[in-house]
Chains A and B, each alone.
Chain A
Amino acid sequence: MNIVIIKYNAGNIRSVNNALLRLGHSAEITADPEKITRADKVIFPGVGEASTTMKYLRETGLDNLIKELKQPVLGICLGMQLMCSHSEEGDATCLNIFDEQVRRFQLPQPNPGNLKVPQMGWNQIYDLKSDLFDASLEGQYVYFVHSYYVAMGHDTAATTDYVLPYSSALQKDNFFATQFHPEKSGKAGEKILSNFLNL
């Protein structure tokens, strides 16, 4: 199988490749449009800031390329947020694959549970609705680090509670996305990555 991880100005790319290696696969990390278009599976990872990353994607033409991909695509963390229509982070116009807004968590006042922003750590995914998941993953803990979130919507494929119930995964056609980091989520994360590779 030919797996490509899209290379752009964001961190976290090596972690995804390490996770694939542990599953017995290897990916090519590349920004080459031809290689990305031809791949069987495309992973769009990301840790970074939305507006500067979108600017980079537009300058390199990767924005239109990603939108037009036909094979299974998996966006992770910032990758998922960039696949939405707009992010409050740096007031960024994003790829609009998912017709959703990305907003910053607003802590409740008062805050008896001592919630923090970013949400950092392990939280549960539930109401799973995508081939990315299977019944064994319902209610499992996965690893999150994020200050911005996607509200519940038409394309919600998993729900998580933090401040409010929100979309911890999205799916529309061949586009899959997780707010959490499957590459850092232990056995549950490995199951999700291998489900994606088996699509």
Chain B
Amino acid sequence: MLAKRIIPCLDIKNGQTVKGVRFVEIKEVGDPVELGALYAQQGADELVFLDITASHEGRKTFVDLVKRIARNINIPFTVGGGISEVKDAEALLNAGADKISINSSAVKNPQLINDLAQNFGSQFVVVAIDAKHQQGDEWIVTVNGGRIPTDKRLFSWAKEAEERGAGEILFTSMDHDGVKQGFANEALAKLSESLSIPIIASGGAGAMEHFKDVFTIGKADAGLAASIFHFNEIPIPQLKQYLHQQGIPIRL
């Protein structure tokens, strides 16, 4: 049976891992390659590396880092941040990335999803969506780390991304991110049921039960988190053992 995936996310700034709590207050937590290898050894199913400085500086540093990651880590990894053109993605593919994640650049230029999927295949293209809850079913898609609201809405934008060739959707609820009270399960379940590509849930993990809920109630294919892993609040082996005991298909 296909296992649910546990994905630590490493935010990278100037070649170092950081985690923003609600995208402010930045604190350093280690060397990305070392931390990634440790997670892989502990049983992480995939890794995500987001270059949060990418749009400003240090592009080449990040590509070099991706090469080091690819040489040293034996599980799949996704890289994101600052990819606005096909050639940016190609540099990361050539450096050894298995997938790239695009967010603001896809909102600004949706055709980028088509171009990336046609050039490199859908399996390479993760569309990340940050959204804020309004009322009922309405979620506003935001860009620039949640700072800028757009005219797009979560469910229609996710559907459009799928139709344009996205291979996966990485959905972060800006209301849940950093709060550690659980994932946005209702919206996740609706996404999972309305799309035929995998959904990665992000934002809100604070306890092992939250992962159980995101896979059962939220029907997500993968659960992503950062600080709870970086600060060892929930060790990955313990989390996977717990999920296995709860009857969730998991790779031990």
Contact = CB atoms under 8 A, between A and B. Distances in A.
Interface in A34-93: 47-49
A199 interface: no
Contacts of A195: none
Interface residue SS majority, chain A? mixed
Interface in A166-199: 181, 183-187, 189-190
Interface stretch (A96-104, A110-118, A150-158): A110-118
Interface in B186-220: 192-193, 196-198, 219
Nearest to A182: B74
Contact of B74 (A117, A122, A162, A186): A186
A184 B196 CA distance: 24
Interface residues of A, number: 36
Contact of B222 (A18, A121, A143): A121
Contacts of B76: 143, 181, 184
Given A118-B167, A184-B76, A186-B75, A15 B70 contact: yes
A116 B197 CA distance: 5
A21 interface: yes
Contacts of B94: 14
B155 to A, nearest CB: 16
B163 to A, nearest CB: 14
Contacts of B23: none
B198 A15 contact: no
B2 A118 contact: no
A124 interface: yes
A181 B3 CA distance: 16
Interface residues of B, number: 33
A161 interface: yes
B40 A121 contact: no
A123 B196 contact: no
B120 A122 contact: no
A15 B74 CA distance: 9
A108 interface: no
A114 B123 contact: no
B93 interface: yes
B175 interface: no
A124 B72 CA distance: 24
Interface string B108-146: 000000000000111110000000000000000000000
Given A15-B96, A114-B192, A189 B197 contact: no
Contacts of A141: 3, 251
Top 7 nearest A-B pairs by Cβ distance? A141-B251, A122-B251, A122-B3, A145-B123, A123-B2, A184-B76, A116-B198
Given A117-B196, A121-B4, 9 more contacts: A21-B71, A22-B71, A47-B123, A114-B219, A116-B196, A122-B45, A162-B2, A181-B76, A184-B74
Interface of A: 11, 14-15, 18-19, 21-22, 47-49, 107, 114-124, 141, 143-145, 161-162, 181, 183-187, 189-190
